Every structure is written in structure tokens, then in C-alpha cells.
Amino acid sequence: MNSKLMKTASILLLTGALLLGSAVVPGTPETVYAADETTGSIYIAPVDRAKFLAGARFDFRVELRDLTAKPNQVSITINGRPAEAFFGQSFVITNTHEDSEEYTIRDVMFRSPGLYEVEVKAGELQRKIQYEVIVADQYGKKAKNVIFFNGDGMSHAVITAARILSKGMTEGKYNGLLEMDMMEARGVVTTSGLDSIATDSANSASAYATGHKGEMNALGVYPDNTPDSLDNPRVETIIEMLKRTSGKATGIVSTAELQDASPAAGVAHTRRRGDKAEIAEMFYKVQPDVILGGGSAYFLPQSVPGSSRKDDQDFFKLFEEAGYHIVENRTQLLQVDAGKTDRLFGVFHLGNMDTYYDRSTNNTAVLGSFTDQPTLWEMTQTAIEVLSKNEEGFLLMVEAGSIDKQLHPLDWERAVIEAIEMDKAIGVAKRFAEQYGDTLIVVTADHAHSMSITGTYWEGDGKSGKDAVRTYAEAGFPTYVDADGDGFPDELDVERKLAVHFANHPDYYEDYKMDPVPTTPNVNGEPNPAKLLNPDDPDRGRFLQIGPINGSTGVHTVEDVPLMAHGTGSQYFIGVLDNTEVFFAIAHAMGLQLLDSETEIGELVQLRPFVESLNGTITYNGGNTVELKIGQGTARLNLTSGDAVVNGQSLSTDVKIMNQRTYVTPDFAAKLLELLPERNGRSAPWQYVNRYAASGGVR
């Protein structure tokens, strides 16, 4: 089509479009484009095929990228309606780059289930995507409490090894099963992210917490085209949803530092998981009722030795002032009187907590001064005791962080011991569920590692290295013993060990012996001799494992991960689930309702915040008339009849008044948009948008 005709045609586009994209703020140089025909691309966040719970909050953003010409018409519609009228809020329009233009609306939601088509037309550019909005199942018995376990990096092989080491085997039959083996439902989870088949813990844990895919290293946000990692389009986390809409208590427990990707996924919104100082602040902003783990370096002010902060914020003090009971070691944790404690903040290490192996052997070479750290099951037990006092129920997210942290350096024993530690915590949760009912327990991993069990390793006949790896019939059975019955093998360097190998690693030495301290496999491209029991071994080549990748450690793998569920609502966790669907399965199991009576309002637009987001004023004239002033335009609306005069033009609308709030139809809101002669996002009334959000947004 002739481009001039196209432009003429596009003038007929939907109302909101007429107002967008052409205004220039005084003093801002007008963007210069190379040509007058627009080519480039359209990016929309949330992305195509995103799925939402009705009432879940998110930021909506359209980016016109790589523009060769400024589009003279931009229309952004949802199911055919201008997006601004649809969401009841105005776009903030920006030009982040010389050849880009962005349209952002923060903190909106879909109020009704169904399919929504988002259509963007900008000059000759066009893009159509679709969203799905659902409400959680309300039928059947619902889980009042949810305890979600994330074994970071816990592949099927990790579970098998944990079962062998913890329970042992006789003539091919296990002598017992793990707690996570004995759950009612089992499925698998696919883990890939928005930008890559291989995921990291940030976007994968976020998928569980929000129901949305993310990019590598991103927490609770979609990508955008700005360098700022903290301004990305956000999606609400389940902890934020519960805090906003329910009386449920929430908790986050991890053996990693709390600012690390998996625990942070419950509260954080950043494109960069490394924003740990900011993530600490996000914990404080969201305030889950129980917070237990490592990572005090980012909770302590810079004046305290060990602090990683660059400011004077003291989160121990802030949390205490917010009513949290503070604990800093195991002794204090075990003394917590749960009956008198509603909020608990416990941080037990400057960084990641040490592994159970190092804690239980009092390996001071690793522990340093942190000799009094609790176990994961002790943290889980205390968290449940505190949270379960809430009569509305609770959601607790528990992570075993060191499974992943130890599989990176290919230290499978420390990783598997951590998995057993998590299994004991799962046991604590199952006892609670058994006793009190109405509880769902979910166990999964965020991604896999390449660990695989080949057979056994035995040097008893004088062989070593590859020659001592025993396969098939020669493997027999390993000789781990748990004489004290604590669920952990008494020794790890037993006579006949598991032979464990990896697929995704750099060149490194594997001598099948425990590393005295966790050790990096490869340094500067060379296998690290420190991985060997005898680093000066003249014949160390027999332990050399040539790996398929470069780098210093093993990496995540793409395979599906295990999914187990137990208790109320466990039927939702069967089959193959995408990681985002685990979020929705939890929502179904809980019957998570984010809207309440607000569903009755359907897609109406609340008048006051909408007008205020346009920098307008609204005046109630005592009787049943309101006067609206937006820009140079005015409108008058009769609340009884719905008759209106907008800039001299007579109209009528449906008016609904609920709970002292006035609502109008989206079409009428679109008419109000026309009152503004020109707008530009750089002068957008952020304070109104923020106040609007603080007041509860569109209801």
C-alpha cells in the first residue's frame, strides 16, 4: 500500500491514538530520524502468550525500536479499545534512544478472565499479541497453607544420590524412601527462560513466584530498552499478591544469602540479580512475616565490618522497628517463642550459609566465625510455627541453595547432603500438613545440573582414576552407612563410593575424594590441582576429566526437573508443567482470588484516579453532577442520568457508584482523553500515577 494512503487510513484509528506520540516538550530537542517512512520493530511487555491471574498487577509497556522515522500515528489497543481507556490510566511516553519511543503504564491488571488481544500500530509497523487471563479454580477443597520447596539445581540424579546416601540399598531395593519420594503427585517441570533454553535461578524462581517468564538474571520484570535495571516492567509476585489481597502470612527461608536469586524472587523486581543492596531494600518494602537465611552483608550499614552496603541503612534496626523479632544464630533461633512471635527476621551469615556437611562436621576451615548456624529443617520448623498462628493461613517459600552452589564446583557430595537436609525440612512440613490439614506442599527445582551417577568408585584392587570407576555388574553397591540414624551417611569417603560424573564442565581433576573446602574446578583455563587430595600427585593426569565447556565451574543444564506435591490441591501438579504453570497450579490449589467483590465492576474505569492520572481535576458539585477539567478541556457528567457534555459535545455513559467510588465506561474514559490537546510522557504526572497506584489503582 502507498504509504500516504496508509497514513490517511491510520487517522481513522482508535481515539486514544490521536493524542499520542506527537507532542514535544519545550527545551527537549526534537528527535531526528533518518527517513520519513517508519521501519523498526515493536516490543510489548508482557510478551505474547503471557498468562495472568485476574487481578494480578503488572506494568504494561510498548517499545517502538530502531525507528527510521517517527510514526505520525500510534495506536495501542486491547481488545479494540485504546489501552489507556482499557486500563484507566494514561501512558508515560519516553524516548530512551534517538530511534525509539516507549509507552508505559504501571500497575494495572485484568479484571475479567478471557483472551485479550493487544494490537500496536505505529506508522507502518504493526504487531498483534495475545494474553490469557484466568481466575483460579474455586471448586473443591482449597489449600489454606502452602509450603513451597525449591531445591536449587536439584535434578533427578541429585534425588537418586540423596536416596542412596540417606537410605541405602539391599539387592537392588532401597531400604527406605525420601520424604520427597513419598508425596501424592509427581510431574516434571520445563525450565527455559524468555531469552534462552538454559535458565538461571533468577528467571526460573521468578516463574514460580509470578507465573511469567523472564530473561536471564531478571527477577519479577520483563525486559526493556533502558540501561536502568530497576525501571523494568514489573509483574507482581505471589507474596505481594497475598500481602495485598489476603490476610495470609508469608515467609521466605533459604540457606543462600537472602538477596540471592531464588529467595529474592519472592519480593524483587530488577533486571539484574546482582542488585543485592536494592534487593535487601525490597525485602524491607514487601516485608514477608518470616525471613530466615544468609546475606547479612547487605542488611548491615556500611560502618559495620563485613557490610557490602554503600549506605548507612541498618536493616536489622529497621526490621526490629517494624516489629520483627531478630535472631542472628542457631541458639537464638531455637529460643524463639513462636507463640509470642508474629514476625521473625533471622540472618545467620554474611553471605551464603555454609553447607550441612561443613556445619555438621564443624569444618572451621570453611565456617570461620559462623560456627552457630541453624539447619534448614530448624529454620523451616520455626517458620511454620510462627506463620501457622495466622488464622487465614500462610505461604512459605523454602530454598536449599547449596545444592546449586555446590554443583557449580562439581562438589556433588556437599550438594547431595544439602538435598538430604532439605528432605528433612520437607518431612517437617509433611508432619505439619498431616496434623493440621488444609496444607499443600510443593517440591521442585529451578533448573538442573548435569550430574549423573555412573556406578561406583573402588580402589580396593589398587586401581585408581578412570580404571577404578566400576560400571554395570562391577559397580555392585556403595558402602555408605548411617549408623547413627540421622539420615546422613556417617562417612562420605567410604571404601566404595558412588561414581558421579558431569556433562557440562571445564577441564578439571576428579579424584573421587571429598574436597576439604569447596574448590573451584578450573582456574584461568587450567584444571585446578587443589581439587585433588594430593595436589602434587606426579600421575595426576589419571584424574583429569576433559570437559566440553570453558569457564571455571560447571553450568546449568536444560533438562526438565522433578516436581512433587502433597496434600490439599496436589492434583494440580501432575504431568509436564512449564515453570510458569507451577505458579498457576499453586493459585488453583489455593483458590487464589485477587479481586473479591471488585469483579462486579468488570472493566469499568474509576473516574477520579483516571482523571488525576491525566493531571486533571474532578469537582463534585454537591448534587449529582461532577465537573472535570483536563488540560484546557472541561466535561460535565450527571451521575444519575449518565448524560455528559465533553468539550461542548453531548454524550451519555453508564455510571456506577460503588463503595463511594464513581466508575464510568472505558469508552467514556476514552472520550475524556480527547480533552487533552497534547501530551508527552516526559512531562507525565508521575506523582499522580504513583498516588493512583498507592490508592489501589483501578478498581
Q: Which of residues 661-680 bind Zn ion (CB under 5 A)?
A: none
Cα angle: 348, vertex 349, 352; to 5 degrees:
115
Nearest CB to Zn ion, comparing residues 290 and 561: 561
CB of 450 to Zn ion, least distance (A): 12
CB of 277 to Zn ion, least distance (A): 21
Burial class of 174 by CB neighbour count within 10 A (0 to 12, 13 to 18, 19+) = middle
- Residue closest to Zn ion when measured from CB atoms: 404
Residue 201 known to be catalytic = yes
CB of 422 to Zn ion, least distance (A): 16
* 8 A C-beta contact, residue 219 and residue 261: yes
CB of 552 to Zn ion, least distance (A): 13
Nearest CB to Zn ion, comparing residues 447 and 496: 447
Tell me if the bond preceding 478 is cis, omega within 30° of 0.
no
Number of residues engaging Zn ion in binding (CB under 5 A):
1
SS3 509: strand
Q: Which of residues 82-121 bind Zn ion (CB under 5 A)?
A: none
CB of 679 to Zn ion, least distance (A): 45
State the DSSP code for 21: S
**Residue 404 binds to Zn ion (criterion: CB under 5 A):** yes
CB of 518 to Zn ion, least distance (A): 14
State the DSSP code for 506: -
Amino acid at 450: S
> CA neighbours within 13 Å on the CB side: how many for 593?
13
Q: Which of residues 515-554 bind Zn ion (CB under 5 A)?
A: none
633-638 and 643-646: which strand pairing?
Answer: antiparallel
Nearest CB to Zn ion, comparing residues 262 and 613: 262
- Which stretch, 399-407, 426-434, 583-591, 689-697, contacts Zn ion (CB under 5 A)? 399-407
Q: Cell numbers at residue 547, please?
A: 570437559
Site string for Zn ion, 358-397 (x = CB under 5 A): ----------------------------------------
Secondary structure, 3-state, 404-442? HHHHCCCCHHHHHHHHHHHHHHHHHHHHHHHHHCCEEEE
Residue ranges of alpha helices (H) inside 501-634 are 579-590, 607-613
Nearest CB to Zn ion, comparing residues 187 and 409: 409
Tracing cell 530466615 back to the chain, one arrives at 292
- Which stretch, 213-221, 345-353, 404-412, 629-637, contacts Zn ion (CB under 5 A)? 404-412
Nearest CB to Zn ion, comparing residues 450 and 613: 450
Distances (CA, A) of 46 to 117, 216, 225, 620: 12, 16, 14, 37
CB of 398 to Zn ion, least distance (A): 17
Cα angle: 434, vertex 435, 438; to 5 degrees:
70
Site string for Zn ion, 31-70 (x = CB under 5 A): ----------------------------------------
CB of 21 to Zn ion, least distance (A): 43
CB of 502 to Zn ion, least distance (A): 13
Catalytic residue among 201, 229, 246, 296: 201
Nearest CB to Zn ion, comparing residues 155 and 246: 155
CB of 9 to Zn ion, least distance (A): 52
- Which stretch, 31-39, 237-245, 403-411, 585-593, contacts Zn ion (CB under 5 A)? 403-411
- The span from the CA of 484 to the CA of 153, in Å, is 28
SS3 67: coil
Nearest CB to Zn ion, comparing residues 404 and 510: 404
- The span from the CA of 552 to the CA of 688, in Å, is 49
Nearest CB to Zn ion, comparing residues 409 and 569: 409
Distances (CA, A) of 56 to 251, 543, 600, 634, 693: 20, 53, 16, 33, 13
In sequence order, which residues have a C-beta less than 8 Å from that of residue 93 and are 6 or more positions away? 20, 21, 101, 102, 103, 104, 679, 680, 681, 682, 684
- Which stretch, 317-325, 362-370, 400-408, 664-672, contacts Zn ion (CB under 5 A)? 400-408
Nearest CB to Zn ion, comparing residues 201 and 545: 201
* 8 A C-beta contact, residue 217 and residue 202: yes
Q: Cell numbers at residue 573, please?
A: 501438579
**Residue 257 binds to Zn ion (criterion: CB under 5 A):** no
Burial class of 529 by CB neighbour count within 10 A (0 to 12, 13 to 18, 19+) = middle
Nearest CB to Zn ion, comparing residues 42 and 555: 555
Active site residues: 201
Which residues would be at the binding site for Zn ion (CB under 5 A)?
Answer: 404
